[in-house]
Amino acid sequence: MKKRQQMFAVTLILFFFGAFTTSAGAVASGEKIYVLPHIPSERDTWDCLLIVDNLQGSEAGFDLKLFGEGGEAVLTDTFTLAGFGYREINLYDSRFPAGTSGLIQVADGGNLSFRVVYRNRTHGGIAEFRLTETTAPMLAFNLGTYNPALTWKGLAVANMADQTAQVLFSAVDGNAQVLGSFSRSLPAHSRAAFVLNDADAFGADFPWDQCVRVYASAPVSLAGLNISGIQNEKLLFTQAVPVDEVPSGGGNATTDYVVIAWNDLGMHCYDDDFSTFSILPPYNNLWAQVVRKDTTPEVVTNGVTVTYSFENNTTSVGKTNFWSYEDKLFGVQLAPDTGLKGKQLAGQMDPTADHFIAEGIPLTQFNDDGSVNYYQTAIVTAKDLSGKILAQTRTIVPVSNEMHCSNCHEDNGVGEISTGYYRTNILTLHDREEGTHLMDNRPVLCASCHSSNALGTAGSQDDLSHVIHQKHRDKVASGLNGCYSCHPGPDTQCLRGTMFQQGMDCTNCHGTMADVGNGSREPWLDEPNCGNCHEYGTPQNELFRLATGHGGMYCESCHGSTHAILPSGYAPDNEQNILLQGKAGPLGDCSVCHTDGRTGNNPHETSPHPEGWKHDHGDYVEHNGYTSCATCHGEDYRGGTSGVSCYQCHNGPSGDD
């Protein structure tokens, strides 16, 4: 690469409009703004592809507007996509001048999805990410702990207002202590894109080993993305995060504790309307473990409190009609913003023997400004009993109401029923085929008749999951597209973890619709586990979301949530582990919790035993007995501090098999 600064020569800004406009004016209410880096000076070695998907059945169009260094419009092009169409636009095409940045304006408010792929044709480096909204007067660019492999750190920020704005950039450490700051003046509709460790920003001598976050603040809304790189081979992207305030310094976090938080499922679904029937209420679960760092770290729940809140999402009232029908559906009268377990969108997590949990958070997919965000960010903070912050983290909490019953049950669809609403079409069909009277008893909780392990109800009829999957087994496509007909979904794309990135889909683990609907299978409980594919060092015959391993840590604490197992294809899922160990992927850096200087990146393979112990330990036990194993494997031989249970491979320590 010629110079690092050239990586940031321009910025491409993607701008969604609910109605068509012909000029780039001030940001209006409801507009969605995106920003990403552009590499015009490297067109000989890089591809920059804008990939657009039309997720609706009707035609949709958008304008691609390109702007110059000072924010002046230099080119406009119009694109049209057929229903469910796909378009790949090479932004290094000769039609698009070098030295420009751009705006996309959606003319009809169509349901368009935008992704960007950067590809280095010489070295093979590639980066792909889906664009999400990052607009606010204050943005946080999370860099994570220092990683020497990242030879440069950068960001791109855009001023979308119609007046010049002064932007203040502040770098902070893990204690929210300001390490340094500088400001830039951005003309209307212009952008700044630069390498943070260059002389015109924070400088090469800046203490990057201490910096975890850079804030940008201005009197106008900003859009941003932070970009890191490894020489000329790799690009790492992370969306900037809107925040409510910029720290002024003097934070009081310690470095003696670590808090790790996660959502127990890769996606929590809820109904988009509760007036007719309900399959699932708004109900997210947030888990956390607090670790006292030491030579032998300790998971602690005593003397510690853990709180949670959500960025840009403080209320669910007005975003769902759940609180108008919860008494009829669930037999409880709840205060606004209160879930079925008493939790709200901010509060204190409940301690258990080995973790903290907030169960039944009534989260929706809508931010307070009305924008859709299927992957909400939770801020989780551990404090001592005096209120001193011990540790803090950020984790993704997924939520979506994207369940496409209306694909088939629209008016005059299945059963030629036309009630004017797909939900009443479904109830009418149920009454006709099953002899029920659901239409006369709305709203209906499906799990009041059908048992449901998801809701913990013991209905008089067969399990809801069995019935739904069996009933629809020949009516939806096989594979991922079929699953996305009912589970979130073409827009949400809830299956995003490392196994999906390597080519697996839902059926590889769960089987076909008929398999899932098999009456001998316990829904939500008879699920694939690590031991189905992985051997030594992984829990066998245990649910991944409930299993523990190394040092008593939950598998999900290090590996991420089900369907979002790390490294995830959705960049924000990786953020917590990047903050903890400086890189994406499973949490494996010993120094995150251990203070004795040990190194390693795979706790499952870390063993005090000699090489080949996996195959030779049987001889040792035969000649020396097994009681000494309890020192590391626990008095019950089910893991102890080693996290490896004798029962994973044998019928206990004294078993013959």
DSSP line for 461-521: BS-HHHHHHHHTTTTS-SHHHHHTTTSS-TTT----SHHHHTT--HHHHH--HHHHT-TTS
Please, which residues have CB within 8 angstroms of residue 410's CB and are 6 or more apart in sequence?
422, 425
**pLDDT of 92 above 90:** no
pLDDT one-digit tens code per residue, 139-177: 888 765 445 556 667 788 888 788 899 999 988 876 667
pLDDT, position 288:
98
Same domain, 283 and 360: yes
DSSP, res 45: T
Residue 454 within any structural domain of the chain: no
Predicted confidence band at 250 (pLDDT cuts at 50, 70, 90)?
very low
What is the pLDDT at residue 445?
A: 96
pLDDT value at residue 37 = 52
- The reply to whether 637 falls in a domain is yes
31 located within any domain: yes
Q: What is the predicted pLDDT for the residue at 269?
A: 94
Q: Look at residue 362 and tell me if it is in a domain.
A: yes
Query: Residue 326: pLDDT band by 50, 70, 90 thresholds?
Result: very high
**Model pLDDT for residues 201-228, shown as the tens digit of each residue:** 887 788 877 777 888 999 988 888 777 6
Nearest 5°: the CA angle 57, 59, 63 is 135
> Contact at 8 Å (CB) between 193 and 10?
yes
At 307-323, the pLDDT tens digits run 999 987 889 999 999 99
Q: Is residue 11 domain-shared with residue 156, that is, in the same domain?
A: yes
Average pLDDT over residues 469-478: 87
Give pLDDT tens digits for 579-609.
788 778 898 888 889 888 777 667 766 566 7
CATH number at residue 189: 2.60.290.11
Last residue of a domain, one of 176, 209, 242: 242
Query: What is the model's pLDDT at position 72?
Result: 67
- Bridge partners of residue 214, in order along the sequence: 141, 171
Pair (195, 337) in one structural domain: no
Q: Is the pLDDT of residue 18 over 50?
A: no
User: Do residues 208 and 98 both lie within one domain?
Assistant: yes
Residues 151 and 90 in one domain: yes
Per-residue pLDDT, 78 = 81
Assigned domain for 115 exists: yes
Same domain? 120 vs 223: yes
- What CATH number does the domain containing 350 carry? 2.60.40
CA atoms within 13 A on the CB side of 452: 15
Domain assignment of residue 653, given as a range: 607-657
Helix (H, G, I), strand (E, B) or coil at 356: strand
Residue partners of 373: CB distance under 8 A and separation at least 6: 132, 133, 312, 313, 365, 366, 367
- Confidence at residue 146, expressed as pLDDT on a 0 to 100 scale: 45
Residue 150 has what DSSP assignment?
-
Mean pLDDT, range 91-106, rounded to an integer: 60
The answer to whether position 96 is within a domain reads yes
Distances, alpha carbon 581 to alpha carbons 23, 217, 459, 597, in Å: 44, 27, 46, 14
Residues 294 and 334 in one domain: yes
pLDDT tens-digit profile of 419-428?
999 999 999 9
Structure tokens at 382: 């551990």
Of the residues 183, 216, 242, the one at which a domain ends: 242
Give the end of a domain, one of 339, 368, 400: 400
Q: Do 175 and 266 share a domain, yes or no?
A: no
Is pLDDT above 90 for 9?
no
Q: Can you tell me the distance from the alpha carbon of 544 to that of 532, in angstroms, rounded to the nearest whole number?
A: 11
567 preceded by cis ω (within 30°)?
Answer: yes
CB 273 within 8 Å of CB 423:
yes
**Same domain (yes/no): 311, 373:** yes
Burial class of residue 181 in the structure, from the number of CB atoms within 10 Å of its CB (0-12 exposed, 13-18 middle, 19+ buried): middle
pTM for the complete prediction?
0.61
- Give the count of domains, the chain: 3
Please name which of 97, 117, 109 lies closest in space to residue 19, comparing C-alpha atoms: 109
Q: How confident is residue 14, by pLDDT bands cut at 50, 70 and 90?
A: very low
pLDDT digits (tens, 9 = 90+) for 351-380: 999 999 999 999 999 988 788 899 999 989
- Choose the most confident range, by mean pLDDT, from 123-132, 335-344, 542-551, 601-610: 335-344
pLDDT-derived band of residue 651, with 50, 70 and 90 as boundaries?
confident
Identify whether residues 198 and 315 lie together within a single domain: no
471 located within any domain? no
- 48, containing H or E segment: strand 46-54
Residue 480 lies in a domain: no
The model's confidence at residue 429, banded by pLDDT at 50, 70 and 90, is: very high
- Shared domain for 195 and 129, answered yes or no, is yes
249 confidence band (pLDDT: 50, 70, 90): very low
Q: Are residues 147 and 213 in the same domain?
A: yes
Partners of 387 in the beta sheet? none
Q: Which residue has the higher pLDDT, 519 or 597?
A: 519
Q: What does the alpha-carbon distance between residue 117 and residue 128 come to, in Å, rounded to a whole number?
A: 4
